[in-house]
Amino acid sequence: MFEDLRDLYQEVIFDHNRNPRNFRVMENADRQVEGFNPLCGDRLTLFLKMDGDVITDASFQGSGCAISTASVSLMTEIVKGKTEAEAQELFTKFHEMTTGKEEHINLEALGKLAVLAGVREYPARVKCATLAWHTLDAALKNEANAISTE
């Protein structure tokens, strides 16, 4: 990764950590799931508003490290207006990007989420970045009220 690109990515992560987007409790949420990453201590509650299979609103509360906060902030922005299938597709791509199982990642398809591509170099931080998405996955599947990365 080029240094200037890395700097830009860092800046976006810092920005979302300082000013998390959609950081609020949602009244009358259709889905509400708590996520916990015991490795780092990241905790979040994800709220979703659904219209059929479209995510019309997403917000969160909680506290965690910069990576987990930036990740959930970016995620709540990007999934708004997406269908469940589109959100699942993004989750798959995001997971491939952060775990590094895929050599050639199409960063363009990930949009702003590409700023988190750097975590693949820090395996201990991958769960910080994917916590939001595992929580979203559980919320969409309506599987549980609380999930843990462990």
Residue with Cβ nearer Zn ion (126 or 139): 126
Q: Quote the least distance from Cβ 5 to Zn ion, whole Å.
A: 23
Applying the rule CB under 5 A, the residues between 53 and 92 that interact with Zn ion are 65, 68
Applying the rule CB under 5 A, the residues between 8 and 47 that interact with Zn ion are 40, 42
For residue 128, state whether it binds Zn ion (rule: CB under 5 A): yes
What are the φ/ψ torsions at residue 118 (nearest 5 degrees)?
-65, -20
Residue with Cβ nearer Zn ion (81 or 122): 122
Helices (H), the chain: 3-18, 66-79, 84-99, 107-110, 126-141
Residue with Cβ nearer Zn ion (56 or 63): 63
**Residues contacting 55, CB < 8 A, separation 6+:** 48, 49, 79, 80, 81, 82, 83, 84, 87
Residue with Cβ nearer Zn ion (76 or 80): 76
Task: Report the distance separating Cα 25 and Cα 125, nearest Å.
Answer: 26
Give the binding site for Zn ion (CB under 5 A).
Answer: 40, 42, 65, 68, 128
